[in-house]
Amino acid sequence: MIKPDSLLKVDRLSKRFRSKWAVNELSFSLSPGSIMGLLGGNGAGKTTTLSMLLGLLEPTSGSIRLFGHDFVKNRHTVLHRMNFCSPYVDLPQRLTVRENLRVFARLYGVDNSSARIEELTADFRLLELMDQPIRRLSSGQKTRVSLAKALINQPEFLLLDEPTASLSPDVSQWIRQRLRDYRDQTGASILFASHDMREVELLCDEVVMMSHGRLIEQGSPQDLQDRHQRGSLEEVFLALNEQGGGA
């Protein structure tokens, strides 16, 4: 369902690789200030969808409207208002945390970048890591730096691709809390791709479930559980996949 006041409107979005439809007629919208989870098993089309929403892949058909602009044709008009974080995309390994943040602050045209970097250093507890090269950091530390980079320009729209993959539960919980705080403080919208059902349940206001590139269910985590009379999102997802032939 596409809402009129949406920050992001995705309409009949499709992506085909040769004969395979990775994303097929996907439509959803994201309201300002909400956190949406893009849920699905492996190969469901989450990362392909995110790649199209970032402008890394061109859709085969369909449209993306972001901040009221046609994102496919004019992505450079809105890219400075959004940012992205994924454990599968590294920051330059030889550069230190401070150097990386300085480069990305300049790349995004951040005013008073030193103050912003200091603020993020405190928020993400990076003070002791600032002069360490990225390659010497642990997975959890890299994720914190990557998130600090993603928030350097105070994005109004943040895209996250499994940001807590391979992290311990305490670090995951800490990152979820930071994301919730950021949304509450700035009113930013967050789109969160994950296959961790529990995490999506804890963090997201709304969920889009995908399987084989198609949208199979949409709603708030509680709505979905009530609608399918299940105790958790994971059970809902498994039930939907059984009905649809499995992931």
Partner 1 sequence: MNSSTIGRISALLLRYFFLLRSSWPRLLEIAYWPTVQMIIWGFTSVHFSNSSPELTAGGILISAVLVWDSLFRSHISYTLSFLEEMWSRNLANLFVSPLRPWELILSLATVSMIRTLIGMVPAALLAIPFLESQSLNLVFPCSDSFSTLFLPDGRFHRRSPVSYYATDWVQKA
| Contact set with partner 1 (CB under 8 A) | 54-56, 76, 79-80, 82-84, 86, 88-96, 99, 102-104, 106-109, 133, 149
What tokens appear for 211 in the block?
Answer: 């399987």
Nearest CB to partner 1, comparing residues 87 and 219: 87
Nearest CB to partner 1, comparing residues 99 and 235: 99
Minimum CB–partner distance for residue 116 and partner 1 (Å): 14
Q: What is the 3-state secondary structure (H, E, C) of the chain?
A: CCCCCCCEEEEEEEEEECCEEEEEEEEEEECCCCEEEEEECCCCCHHHHHHHHHCCCCCCEEEEEECCEECCCCHHHCHHHEEEECCCCCCCCCCEHHHHHHHHHHHCCCCCHHHHHHHHHHHCCCHHHCCCEHHHCCHHHHHHHHHHHHCCCCCCEEEEECCCCCCCHHHHHHHHHHHHHHHHHHCCEEEEEECCHHHHHHHCCEEEEEECCEEEEEECHHHHHHHHCCCCHHHHHHHHHHHCCCC
Minimum CB–partner distance for residue 97 and partner 1 (Å): 12
Minimum CB–partner distance for residue 95 and partner 1 (Å): 5
Nearest CB to partner 1, comparing residues 10 and 209: 10
Minimum CB–partner distance for residue 120 and partner 1 (Å): 16
Minimum CB–partner distance for residue 36 and partner 1 (Å): 18
Minimum CB–partner distance for residue 99 and partner 1 (Å): 4
Nearest CB to partner 1, comparing residues 95 and 171: 95
Nearest CB to partner 1, comparing residues 7 and 110: 110
Nearest CB to partner 1, comparing residues 4 and 76: 76
